[in-house]
A and B are shown apart, each in its own frame.
Chain A
């Protein structure tokens, strides 16, 4: 386990400021010539032009995380795909956001997340607002082709503001980043390595009664069922009930 990173500056403002010049940048996205402000990321420029790229770890206005890789796009001349949420635009860039290669790669990424995800959607409190499910449906991913061992962690339900189920965590790190942006003393940090890496509280202990009562930033932003508010049947629903049409 390593020391958590408490660096203060996590605001996106200023990232790539060394690239800021007066002139607008021209680039080509999916065959269309567009121009955008220097210092923007590919994702921001694409969204400004009405092109949506799926993201799971991105939080607008905060420093990019770059962990989920769902936002990868093809940039002419690049050996690999590039993460659009953290790559600044450059003059003359030629970008494909939905080429067959990109789509095939995104599918594998979602399948990899599902490979170790508990098969618990049927009874998951957040199933109707789950971003992972929505993205999987968009990419037409059904049963994953890959299998990996599941993480089984006990549900942490001692706290009356937040329930944590790390078996469902997709390690996007949004909660870590969101908490850092709200408080000087972040609740969560990353620990362990590889497949065993985990978002931990304290020294990897269950969330306790007085862990945090400040805001719900992390719960709101968690894309999976890993963080949720405790809810009793009959109380307000997160969203309308979910129906999947075959």
Chain B
């Protein structure tokens, strides 16, 4: 399967600095259709029918989320665009923000209309500060053309914490608090930002909204698999000839992405979904890229045979231990214990007993952690133990 450009169709095509260039490519036609021809209920139904699932990692059905916020009681509601892009190895949202910020704003405005929100925020990753001017200019041009229609759209900058990409911590951060995960329920759709009904969606999710509204749910759901509709934008990096951003229909085999498109050779393993993502060995390259198999936010990091699995997994765990918000026991303590155990293996001082303990620890972290970070933190350890157990056993102290 070659690349298929739905989300990225305007990237490198339009001039991202000029709204005229976007208008010439059917820009804001979907917004006009949504506002003039569709009720909020029809919009959420269309999104539900499309099968669009969140592109920020968790894959939650977008239409169901919107419906929850639309029907939640309350006059004040919010739309948040999650542009924190903190997952290790992801850079697709940055590419989108750089090359086609207008489609994103159009998607946010349609979301606002669908749930009855008058205010929205774009939560921008601290490291993307250089995009602040560019995005503000986008919003200004959209405002001047009168497309906001009373909607207020502001940019909020993060402060460099991975956890602030997690939706509840992100809302704390916008509220000016320490960014920490909250327990759910209440869910953001009933009690989100400042306690008001809120939807929070990834950049790429919102990019899919204007084409779905223009072309219809049936058109969208032709692409992809049974449970993963549409396309996905991947950030490919590591030991590949052509690192970069690629868009493919969901369900495409991993091999086509990393070997055919990105030109990887001598693959040892691929990490899909970043630090909290899955690890697959070369034998599993025919795995489809879909929510029902492996996907996450679409970070694909390739490692060739010169790489050391233990070293990669150890560094992944050190990152998670540092970025855990520290609120709940399994994640705060568990990531630290794991990082210390892996450090021993990295120095050839591991023990078989500790390997056994890692399995029990993983299961408790996955079951009891409060948010996705702690729940998914053991993924790389568990996957590498499944596929590369020999490498661990070689590092046991003699």
Q: Interface readout for A98-127 with B: 1 if CB under 8 Å, 0 if not?
A: 000100110011001101100000000000
Contacting pair B185 A16 (CB below 8 A) = yes
Contacting pair B326 A80 (CB below 8 A) = no
- Interface range for B: 35 or more
- Asked if A223 is an interface residue, CB under 8 A from chain B, the answer is no
Specify which chain A residues have a CB less than 8 angstroms from the CB of B332 in the assembled complex.
171, 194-195, 197
Given A66-B328, A80-B366, check contact A18 B186 (CB 8 Å).
yes
Specify which chain B residues have a CB less than 8 angstroms from the CB of A7 in the assembled complex.
177
Binds A, one of B91-99, B217-225, B333-341: B333-341
Q: Interface readout for A183-197 with B: 1 if CB under 8 Å, 0 if not?
A: 000000010111111
Given A80-B375, A115-B333, A194-B322, check contact A66 B183 (CB 8 Å).
yes
> Smallest distance from the beta carbon of B310 to chain A beta carbons, Å?
19
Binds B, one of A142-150, A159-167, A201-209, A224-232: A142-150
Binds B, one of A25-33, A67-75, A211-219: A67-75
> Smallest distance from the beta carbon of A239 to chain B beta carbons, Å?
25
- The complex places the Cα of A69 from the Cα of B334 at a distance, in Å, of 13
Contacting pair A113 B178 (CB below 8 A) = no
Given A83-B370, A105-B364, check contact A69 B329 (CB 8 Å).
yes
Specify which chain B residues have a CB less than 8 angstroms from the CB of A197 in the assembled complex.
325-327, 332
Specify which chain A residues have a CB less than 8 angstroms from the CB of B335 in the assembled complex.
194-195
Specify which chain B residues have a CB less than 8 angstroms from the CB of A80 in the assembled complex.
366-369, 375
Given A67-B328, A105-B367, check contact A148 B337 (CB 8 Å).
yes
> Smallest distance from the beta carbon of A186 to chain B beta carbons, Å?
13
Specify which chain B residues have a CB less than 8 angstroms from the CB of A105 in the assembled complex.
363-364, 367-368
- Asked if B321 is an interface residue, CB under 8 A from chain A, the answer is yes
Q: Tell me the interface secondary structure of chain A in the complex.
A: loop
Given A16-B185, A147-B340, check contact A109 B179 (CB 8 Å).
no
Specify which chain A residues have a CB less than 8 angstroms from the CB of B191 in the assembled complex.
18
> Smallest distance from the beta carbon of A119 to chain B beta carbons, Å?
16
Q: Say which residue of B179, B327, B337, B340 sits within 8 Å of A67 (CB atoms).
A: B327
- Asked if B75 is an interface residue, CB under 8 A from chain A, the answer is no
Which B residue's beta carbon lies closest to that of A88? B185
Contacting pair B370 A66 (CB below 8 A) = yes
- The complex places the Cα of A63 from the Cα of B180 at a distance, in Å, of 16
Specify which chain A residues have a CB less than 8 angstroms from the CB of B176 in the assembled complex.
3
Which A residue's beta carbon lies closest to that of B358? A146
- The complex places the Cα of A161 from the Cα of B370 at a distance, in Å, of 35
> Smallest distance from the beta carbon of B388 to chain A beta carbons, Å?
22
- The complex places the Cα of A28 from the Cα of B369 at a distance, in Å, of 24
Q: Say which residue of A18, A70, A86, A193 sits within 8 Å of B190 (CB atoms).
A: A18
Q: Which 6 A-B pairs have the closest CB atoms?
A: A197-B326, A2-B178, A108-B364, A112-B333, A195-B336, A194-B324
A binding-site residues for B, Cβ under 8 Å: 2-5, 7, 16, 18, 64, 66-70, 72, 80-81, 83, 86-88, 101, 104-105, 108-109, 112-113, 115-116, 145-149, 170-171, 190, 192-197
